[in-house]
Every structure is written in C-alpha cells, then in structure tokens.
Structure 1
C-alpha cells in the first residue's frame, strides 16, 4: 500500500506541461502588489511602526498569506486578488504622509551630498542596505517555501508545478530565481573587497568557496540519504537519481571563484554569463547532448544524474547574471554617475539601469523563443537551456525594478538621507520585518521548509485532503516558518550555511 501511494505521489508531480508566462507573471505580481499595499500603509498611516498584534497579522496576511492564496484559492481569479491589493494602496496614496514634518527632512542641504562629511558625521556606506532588495529576496524566499509544500496538495494547480521537459511553470521560475538571488547578493563581498583595495589569489578564493560549499554538500548528502532511507517519493527526471538542488548550489561558488579572481571581471560578468549560456545551447543543438539528457539509459553515475550535472552550466549562467545585476544595484552610486550626484539622481540612474536589464533580457528571450520572429527554441528547466536563462533573468530584473520603484515612490528618505543615523531610520521604516527575517536567514528557513515538507508528506495523505484541510495545513506550515524566521531575527541570529 505504501509503495502504491509513493507511485501516486510521483505521478502527481510527473509529466506536467506547465502554464503560460503571462499567468506566471500575474501570480508572482502578488508579491510586489502586497509590498505596494504594505508601503502605502506604512508611509501614510505608520501602520507597522508599532509592531504589535495588528501589525504582525497585517504583515503576515500581505507578505505570506497573499502568495499562498494566489497559488491556491485565488489561482483562477488572480486578477481579482491583485486588484484587492492594489486598489486599497491607490486609495491610501490620496492621503498625505502621516508625519507632516517628513518632507522637510527629505531634501538634502544644498552644499552637501550623501558622501560628504562636512559636519564631521560618519560617511554613508558605499554599499548601503537596500530595502527593495530585502523585500525582493524575502518575497522570493516566501514563495519558494510556500510552493515546495503546496505542490503536494490538489488545491495547488498542476500547471504551477515543475514541467517534465518543455514549458514554463511557477515552480520552474522559483528554482531559477533562487539561484539568481544568490548570485545577486554574492556581489556584495566582491564589491566590498574591491572598494577596500583588497585582492585575493585564486588559491585563497577557491579555499574560501570550498568552505562555503561544504555545508551545502552536507545538506545534499543528508537529503539524498533521507529520501532513499525513508523511501520518499521523488521525481528522478528533475535532477537525477542522486543529485538534488543542494548539490547544484554547492558547486556554484568554486566555479564563480575562478572568474572573480580575474581583475576587472565585474565589467564582464554579464557577457560571460551570455557566453556560457550560448555555448551550452549551441552544444545542445549541434551534438547529441540533448538526446542524451532526455533519453539515455541510466547505466552509470553520470547518466543517472545527467539532468543535475549538465543543467549546472545553465544555473551557473543564471548565477552570474544575478551577480552582474548585484554589481549595479548594491552600489550607492551606480557606475557612470558623477561622484557629486545627489541621491535623486543616483536613484534615477539606478532605475534606468534596471530598465536596461529588463529590456535587454526580455528582447533576448523573445528573440530565442518566438516562433515567427525568433529561433523557436522552447524553455526547458530540466536542461536549464538558454531560453530558461533569459526568462529567469528578465523576470527577476523586472521584479527588482518594481520593488525599487515602489521604494522610490513611498520612501524617498532611503536614498536622499545625508547621515548614517537618519538613513538607518528610513531603511528600518521601509522594511517589512517578515520579509527581512526571511531574507536574513533564507537558507536556514529553506532547510526548515524542506524538513517540514518531508514531515507533512510522511505523516499525512496530502493527495486525499479536501480544500479546507489542505489550506489549514498550509496556513499552519506558513505560520510556523514565519515564527521561526522572525524569532531568529528578533534574537539577532544569522545562521550561515
């Protein structure tokens, strides 16, 4: 009986064809729409300043429950859910900010710029905390954690689950976004070292990358032995017999370290990503590699794990794309902006740069996938091919741009503050505590989500659960993850894996 149920579970997530890019965009638009309403409530009503039960509940409903409902109960009425989030925000925008004195603090003195130190104040950090990046990464982590359990219930539409080979789905985008996001934040230590004039030899960089990879390799091994030992349902064509997503994450740092040791590599990270992805796609097209991935018998270690091993090159390109965007968005002054430029000019330059990324990757995506005007190559998460790289890159750049625009409109003090203390106040005011918590300990929360997902699937018959019971389990699971994330943040704990 147990084995037949395992087969049912595997069939439930196998041979799926996904959905449309437009619907995926509509569902994921719930995250910035929720942040929009959160920002309107905060800037117009100071709703989340005093973080008591009403604020905690509101934060949870907007930044956790909204996405859960978007992928379950509102999956067929996603435009309605977006409207329910955007319309109240629009109404709140008609109100003045709750602090009528705020505006006079937003204009910097005419003789001072954000980097100047004329009053003996501490200089602003060249790599500031970006609330919109915190919101973007927190929302991405929330959506990932929600989906990995929700996919095991019938209330979660099959078109949102990972596709078998060709097509697009919400969870396919989630995997790529996780890697893109990791690449984005990996730019911070590189920028920090170069701003400080520090250089590392290739050997030093490789040793550091291997140390960061070791915990991920261990997690990959633990997951592998747990799945095999517990006879847990698994989707072999996702990564292979032994491979899993933790192994993919673990092998990224050493390869990236090879490129980071090259002087002036910052300028060429995006072209390098494009080069790797293009060469990989050419090999898929002109050799038998594509057929090998899709049809080869699993006779040895390589063939048994061919999806995970070969698709790694696509994920490496995505990681490098994220890092290239990070080199732009994490710096206080975007490249090409004069050192004397004030905060508003810097923010305009940043938005323009983000729009450039969005347009560039979107054009490339349509150029390679269009049947009429392009190469007509379909997206494949299983191979992490070039269309998948372009899709993930365009999507994440668009998400970051929207979050950045929302912050720019509602919290201008973040980018025009002239001293460190005031900037910290603005940053804190512009940041959801829940999204901050998920961003701060993202990998630890992701690990906890995997453990809870396994526990639920081993304890409950998720396939036979009705809508009400399924939603009860998912809300409880989301609440537990949120409580763990917020507790770690409130205790000032950062778990590095």
Structure 2
C-alpha cells in the first residue's frame, strides 16, 4: 500500500522514470513514499526537540549565572545558546544532528541524576502551571516563530538542508510543520466561542488583522512582481489568509459546542468528513492535478481553500487539548504525574496513527488531510509533554526562579497579560521566548520584510556557507532584538 495504481496502462513508458508533472499529465495519481515520510518526520522532530532543549539549557545557564537582574545579558546568552545552534542545524551543521541528539540524551540523564530533580519534585506541595498561559505553551509558540523565521530566509541560501524544504504534495518535512504548528499554537491561546460576542471579538481582534495582512501581502507581491509558489496556498492566498480564515471558521464552528468536551467529536467529525471528500469524492486529485487550469478564483486558489476544513479541525482539536491540560492550574504531585502520563499515552497513540496514515493515505500539508492533522497533533503534544515535564516538573523543582514582581514591573519586564501577582512570577527566564509571545506577529512581519530585503539586495543564492550563517545571525538578531526591546519597554503591538 501507500501508492495508487495507474488508471490505464501507458505503452512504452516507464512511470518510475517520469517526473511528477509527467505523471500527472498521464493521469496517474501521486505515489507517496511512506518510509521516506517517516524519515522526514524524524528529522523534523529531532530539529524541533533539539532547539527546545537549547531553550531549556539557556534557562538553566541564565539561572546559574544569576542574570535575572540583567535582561540584556539574558538575551545575549539565549541568542548564543538557542538561535545560533538552530541556524547551524538547518545549514552547515545538519550532518551532526544525530550525534547532537545523543549528546542531549546523555546530558539530560546526567542532569536528572545529579540534580535529584525527581526526588525534589516529590517534595513539592503543588505545581503552578500558570493558568491559561503556562510557560510550556509560550515556549512552544516561541519555538514555532524561531524555526519558521530562520527557515523562510535560510531556504534561499545554498547551505540550507534541502530535505527540509516544503513538500510539493506529500511529505513530512521540517518546513511543512510551519503553518500547522502556527494553527496549533494559535489554538493554545484561544477558547471556544461561547456566545456571539466571543465570536465577534475573535473576528475583530484576531481573524480580520490576519486576513488584512494576507491581503496586503498579496497586493505587495502582485505590485512588486515577487514570485510565489501557487502550489502552497494558490495564486493569491498565503499563510496569513489560512490563519485568518481558520480563526474565523474555528470560532464560528465552536459555537456549536456547549462544553469544551464537545470540541473533540466536533473536530474529529469535521476531519473525517474532510478526509472522506479528499479520498472518495476526488477532491484530492482535483487539488493535486496540475492539468486543472487556474481559470477562475476557486481553481486558482484551490490549495488554500480546500485545506481549510482540515486546519479548522486541527484548531478545534488543539483547543480541546489545551483546555484539558490547563483545566486546573494548581496541581498536586500525583495529579501532575497523572496528567503527564495521560498526555504521554496520547502522544504514543498519535504517533502510531501517524505511521498508519503515512502508509495508507500519505501526509499532505497542501490539502491538510487526516495524516497531516495527526502529525501536527503528534508534534504539538510531544512538545507539550516535554515542556510541562521539563519546565514545570524538573527545572522549576531544581531551580525555581524567584524575583520580586515590583522589581520586574519597574524594569518593564512584565507583559500586559502578566501583571504582577502575589505568586512572584517573573518573565525574565526565557527572555526571547517572552518577547516573541508578546509581539510574535510583529516579529514575523519584520522577518518577512527582512527576508524580502535580503533577497533583493544580497543575492543569497550566491553566498558561501560562512556568509549565509553570518547573514542569518544578523537577520535573527535584528528581529529578536526588536521584539526584546519592545518587551523591556512594556510595549505590545501584535
């Protein structure tokens, strides 16, 4: 399985020697490589977890160096320990990813044994997950922003690891995770619409700005003649449109749920209906077939439009996972262990389903099929499990970060969503992470503008490996430092 048969024999032609375009021209459906998909997924997950581990390392180092009173030093240490390795691992150091993974595993075991973290966790009376915005969720959001921002520019350099590039139709590559994880993390900070007033608020403050940004990007591209691959979202649509429409439709559909629990059957039902249409009504073939002319608005943007039901289902299911995870912010040791165990079982189930989907129906970001949604949930829940376990269970047990809220307020280090409270929650740990959570959209817009500037003036395709790394470092410094300065001043734009 994992491949489809040709509709009728083609004499004197060997389909294995034909390009994808020639195959489609012959009326043959795309043949996905399910074993290759598993390898791609492992490479993607390894890079994500490695970057996540670097964030944890930065948290430990800044604590050991007692940098809580110096946000600029915190930023510098995090930049070196998080952003530099991520840039190297998608370019010149990619061949060492597996070795680095082994080192990370060994160092983690050493830290757990030497710090006696598990024993210390048992002595804690309660664990504060942070209410509706736990640190574990903010780390995942920042991780998504960082990797996506690095990749959208790095891909233009010859040093970029080509297997990380987006799949044309089927595949599970690193850059395929971008839009899916953005939807997942968007849902992590969202709630279901309980009333029409909630729906209007979601549309006005979340969906419409994204749609307007998508429109602005389309107009800019058409005006400047900047190239856009129509096989991603269509001729006129882009990621901003997908996020905006997903937020709009997700908020609308969630009105049908009377309780958070109802989001689970609602999301699953929509996902199964979507997959039924893709597999049995020929919608998948309609989107994939390049012989279908882009003669009208729907045909021209069929990739972006057809994928929307899948992204809405992912959005609803992600909200359910989030509401289940943070249903209670204060947990005892046994309650947190039970919750982490349940989340781990969910992770195992999702990865098992991913393997089945990779074999049976393929993984496709372009149409956001069942396999892709399962894959995004698997990565998201894996990272959540690792975040809650590593941050709330281990690190905060060994080295709780204590700071005076009044001091943080004076330094301008508290966000608008995190006023000074009696429980002394400082946002100094994970400084870049907090900066991107406060102004993530602003950071991403700046990254897109800088990417366009580099492409127009620096000719990245002609740059050496060393030059590409330097340019990427400067690019990420400008973007993250801008967000960090806004954080220090307590300014929240978007």
Q: Which TM-score applies when normalising by structure 2? A: 0.81
Q: Does 1:239 align with 2:221?
A: no
Q: Which residue of 1 aligns with 2:424?
A: 424
Aligned pair partner of 2:354 in 338, 348, 365: 365
Aligned pair partner of 1:438 in 422, 428, 436: 436
Contact 1:413/1:423, CA 8 A, preserved across alignment: no
Q: Offset of 1:271 from its aligned partner?
A: 2.5
Distance 1:298 1:369, change over 3 A: same
Q: Does 1:60 align with 2:53?
A: no
Q: Which residue of 1 aligns with 2:377?
A: 393
**Whole-Å separation in 1 of the counterparts to 2:247 and 2:388:** 27
Distance 1:129 1:415, change over 3 A: farther
**Whole-Å separation in 1 of the counterparts to 2:440 and 2:271:** 27
Give the total of aligned pairs.
438
Distance 1:348 1:142, change over 3 A: same
Aligned pair partner of 1:267 in 261, 265, 285: 261
Instruction: Provide Cα deviations, 1:251-281, integer angstroms capped at 9, x if missing partner.
Output: 1222222233235331022232222111111
Contact 1:106/1:413, CA 8 A, preserved across alignment: no
Q: Offset of 1:70 from its aligned partner?
A: 1.2
**Whole-Å separation in 2 of the counterparts to 1:309 and 1:414:** 48
Q: Which residue of 2 aligns with 1:72?
A: 91
Q: Offset of 1:300 from its aligned partner?
A: 0.4
Q: Offset of 1:467 from its aligned partner?
A: 0.7
Q: Offset of 1:249 from its aligned partner?
A: 1.0
Q: Which residue of 2 aligns with 1:147?
A: 151
Residue 423 of structure 2 aligns to a residue whose secondary structure is: helix
Q: Offset of 1:49 from its aligned partner?
A: 2.5
Q: Offset of 1:179 from its aligned partner?
A: 0.9
Instruction: Provide Cα deviations, 1:88-138, integer angstroms capped at 9, x if missing partner.
Output: 5655556659xxxxx799744xxxx78xxxxxxxxx898254222222211
Distance 1:54 1:106, change over 3 A: farther
Q: Does 1:447 align with 2:445?
A: yes
Q: Offset of 1:289 from its aligned partner?
A: 1.2
Q: Offset of 1:428 from its aligned partner?
A: 3.8
Matches within 5 A, 1:174-193: 174-187=178-191, 190=192
Contact 1:180/1:322, CA 8 A, preserved across alignment: yes
**Whole-Å separation in 1 of the counterparts to 2:209 and 2:473:** 30
**Whole-Å separation in 2 of the counterparts to 1:411 and 1:126:** 12
Aligned pair partner of 2:293 in 292, 297, 302: 297
Q: Offset of 1:356 from its aligned partner?
A: 3.2
Distance 1:95 1:311, change over 3 A: same
Q: Which residue of 2 aligns with 1:255?
A: 249
Contact 1:42/1:48, CA 8 A, preserved across alignment: yes
Q: Which residue of 2 aligns with 1:21?
A: 41
Q: Which residue of 1 aligns with 2:323?
A: 327
Instruction: Provide Cα deviations, 1:452-472, integer angstroms capped at 9, x if missing partner.
Output: 111111112111111111111
Q: Which residue of 2 aligns with 1:280?
A: 274
